Copies of this chain bind each other. A is one copy, B any other.
Amino acid sequence: MMNTKNTDQITVFKALADSVRLDIIEYLKHTDHEVSCGEVGKALNISKTSGSYHFKLLQEAGIITTRKEAREKYVSLNSKTFDKYVTNFYKNI
């Protein structure tokens, strides 16, 4: 269980270390329907450029999964990543 490089772990914590992204994560956790980037951006007052940047980081960290349908991109939380890198972090280091 001893790490030597931690890069995925750091990518996840970096992705979580920002208020815009935490707001997005909360929004996704509390929503009961499939949501698009646009819906989240409007709800949280994030410009589309900035939203695009933050969704990309969340995706690269494995925190969200995305599905493109026509013009829209639907996003949802990937709970496996929380499990592996957040919830069990302390136990696993």
Contacts and interface: CB of A to CB of B under 8 A. Distances in A.
Interface in A3-42: 3, 5-6, 9-10, 13-14, 16-19, 22-23, 25-26, 29-30
How many residues of A sit at the interface, in one of the four size bands?
Answer: 20 to 34
A79 interface: yes
Contacts of A14: 17
Q: How many copies of this chain?
A: 2
A17 B17 contact: yes
Contacts of A53: none
Interface in A52-93: 79, 82-83, 86-91, 93
Contacts of A10: 17-19, 22
